[in-house]
Amino acid sequence: MIGYCEPMKRTRIPHISEPQVSWGGSMSSEGYDEVYRLKSNHKELLMHKRTLERQLEVKQEQLKELKKAIEACEVQLYDDAPIVRKRDRVTLTNGVNGSNASKRPNASSE
C-alpha cells in the first residue's frame, strides 16, 4: 500500500526518581551519580527560586513606597500655594519700590 506507515510505538520514559536498571538487574554507579547530581541541581534551583521570589516581594514593596512618595511630591508640586524663590522675591521687591514704574510711560506726557 502506498503512503501507509506504521503508527509509532510509544515508549514510556521513566521518571528520574525511578531506578534505572541495567542488564545486570541493578543500577550502575554512574546512574546513581547522575540521579544524585540531578536531584542536587533541582534542590539548588528550588532554593534559588525561593530567593528570587523573596527579592521580588521586597522590590514590589519598595516600588509601592516609591509610588507613594512620588504622589506626595506631585501633590506638593501642584499645590495652590506658589513656591516663592529668592529670585522671585527680588523681582517682587523691585516692582514694589517703583523701579518698574519709572520705565512706564507717563500718561501726562502723551
pLDDT per position as a tens digit, 50-72:
999 999 999 999 999 999 999 99
Q: What is the pTM of this model?
A: 0.43
Does any domain span residue 37?
yes
Does any domain span residue 102?
no
Does any domain span residue 23?
no
Does any domain span residue 75?
yes
pLDDT category, 1, cuts 50, 70, 90?
Answer: very low
pLDDT > 90 in the chain, percent: 38
How many Cβ atoms sit within 10 Å of the Cβ of residue 32?
13
Does any domain span residue 81?
yes
Number of structural domains the chain divides into: 1
Does any domain span residue 110?
no
What is the domain range of residue 60?
A: 29-96
Does any domain span residue 72?
yes
Per-chain mean pLDDT for the chain: 75
Q: What is the pLDDT of residue 10?
A: 59
Does any domain span residue 7?
no
The residue among 4, 10, 35 whose CA lies nearest residue 20 is 35
pLDDT per position as a tens digit, 93-109:
665 555 555 555 555 55
